[in-house]
Amino acid sequence: MTTPAVAPRDPRAFLAAFARRQAPRVAELPCGFVVANDALPHSRADNQLLVERPLPDPAALPALADRVLAGLPHRLVTVLDEGAGEAARGPLTAAGYAHTAELLMVHRGPVPAPRPGGPRAGTVELEALRAPLTRRWRGFLPDGDEEAVRQLVERRAVRPRGAETVHFVGSRAEGGEVAAWADLYLEPAAGLAQIEDLLTAEEHLGRGHGHAVVAEALRLAEAAGCATRFLIAEAEDWPRLWYGRLGFTTVGRVHTFERV
């Protein structure tokens, strides 16, 4: 991946740059941009409207989303600007969107050490993730068709386009299968790293694999010179508390709005 001329040094700017770089198609708008991947229509994150700047008329956002996302079975709007997200909440929820506030959490303090006697994590290839990731998505989407599950697994193959360096970090169970995993996006030129899509296979929950993955991801980010290490967690879900115990602090919010 070619490093951009000016690497984004702010987490919000990095989120926007990552979305742009990995998308096959990008359409710029006054308030932000739309990303589209025709090969992954079931992946909402790869086909969405992202709002970067304050909206002159928040009431116009539902109609804009319908226009720029026409032809898709879903609507996903991510508002990176916190104030714009609050302003958009009324019009979008009135239009039938479900709202989720997501915390932008930055890691402070030392990198946590692996637990004594616990599992260890390292970088893994996408091929090692396919089987456990497929099972996890089938659990999340028991009524989803096989093509939808396939796309949600294979969308990880486009992630390396989004950042200077992309690692898949995994912790293996005793039998060798990957038990927990996450993406790690590195921009060493900007000193910035994101941990994304942390998941643990259901049969391996509660055994320290998630801790091992986060600790290794933070270690790799530190070794790459990325002093700003962040992730996104839902404001109303329990993982935010666990991340807090690992040294992550909330520094802001982004807002997502979804309608199916």
Domain containing 130 equals 121-251
> Using an 8 Å Cβ cutoff, are 234 and 100 in contact?
yes
CA 102 from chain center: how many Å?
Answer: 11
Verify that 156 and 36 share a domain, yes or no. Answer: no
Element (H, E) at 75: strand 75-79
Verify that 203 and 93 share a domain, yes or no. Answer: no
Instruction: Note down pLDDT in tens along the chain; length 260 residues.
Output: 444 445 677 999 999 999 999 999 999 999 999 999 999 999 999 999 999 999 999 999 999 999 999 999 899 999 999 999 999 999 999 999 999 999 999 999 899 988 899 999 999 999 999 999 999 999 999 998 999 999 999 999 999 999 999 999 999 999 999 999 999 999 999 999 999 999 999 999 999 999 999 999 999 999 999 999 999 999 999 999 999 999 999 999 999 999 98
Verify that 36 and 85 share a domain, yes or no. Answer: yes
Verify that 96 and 129 share a domain, yes or no. Answer: no
Last residue of a domain, one of 103, 134, 160: 103
* 0.85 surpassed by pTM: yes
Taking the C-alpha atoms of residue 251 and residue 192, their distance in angstroms, rounded to an integer, is 15
Verify that 83 and 15 share a domain, yes or no. Answer: yes
Taking the C-alpha atoms of residue 229 and residue 248, their distance in angstroms, rounded to an integer, is 9
How far apart are the two ends of the chain, measured CA to CA in Å? 34
